[in-house]
Chains A and B, each alone.
Chain A
Amino acid sequence: SQQGEEDPQALSIQEGENATMNCSYKTSINNLQWYRQNSGRGLVHLILIRSNEREKHSGRLRVTLDTSKKSSSLLITASRAADTASYFCATDAGGGNKLTFGTGTQLKVEL
């Protein structure tokens, strides 16, 4: 399987704290994307980082990419209870936007 690994599998933090999730993958990529999934729902695209980029920001989200280590991290700053969800990284290795999803991190933000 080419599926990436994410860690931690589960993360529980207090509101206001930062949450960091890591993703490792196996093949060369065109880009890496992060998605969020609320329980029993579809996925929402959060951010895309291309293989020639090292860091990207979007609101409270910060994504880094290290292609030499084939890894990425997603940082959510000043977390809120509404950030509670599962977060998946997905890699695009080229060829028709086909994505390979990581195993996911379940984030719980407590009040």
Chain B
Amino acid sequence: GAVVSQHPSRVICKSGTSVKIECRSLDFQATTMFWYRQFPKQSLMLMATSNEGSKATYEQGVEKDKFLINHASLTLSTLTVTSAHPEDSSFYICSASDRYQETQYFGPGTRLLVL
């Protein structure tokens, strides 16, 4: 099956710093990648959708200058949390699909803790 990796799996940073999370599709070309945020014992909330080579589409209420998304290639998308604050602490999950797939393939997630 399709494999999606995320790096890092866990990151602790100081308030005010920026953190970059990578999402890679290992065995297929991901024309679309999705970024989600999940709070403990809650569902996934879609943050943004990114298509290779174009700007990401952000969901309502998600600050695009706060959460920078780049999808420069068909196998890599990055999410940068800029000037992170404790309230940004969360579990961030990416997923990927190609134009032929109806399903999304999820990465293992990145747990961010901002002190």
Contacts and interface: CB of A to CB of B under 8 A. Distances in A.
Interface size, A (range): 20 to 34
Interface residues of B, number: 26
Given A33-B103, A42-B107, A43-B106, A96 B46 contact: no
A40 B91 contact: yes
Interface in B22-74: 32, 34, 41-46, 49, 51
Interface in B94-113: 95, 97, 101-109, 111
Majority secondary structure of chain B interface residues (helix, strand, loop or mixed):
strand
B103 A98 contact: no
B103 A41 contact: no
Max count, chain A CB within 10 A of own CB: residue among B6, B43, B95, B104:
B43
Interface in A9-44: 30-31, 33, 35, 40-44
A104 to B, nearest CB: 5
Q: Is the interface of A mostly helix, strand, loop or mixed?
A: strand
Contacts of B51: 96
Most buried by B among A88, A96, A97, A106: A97
Interface of A: 3, 30-31, 33, 35, 40-45, 48, 88, 92, 96-104, 106
Given A43-B93, A97-B101, A103-B42, 13 more contacts: A40-B111, A41-B109, A42-B6, A42-B107, A42-B109, A43-B95, A43-B106, A45-B104, A48-B102, A96-B51, A100-B46, A102-B43, A103-B43
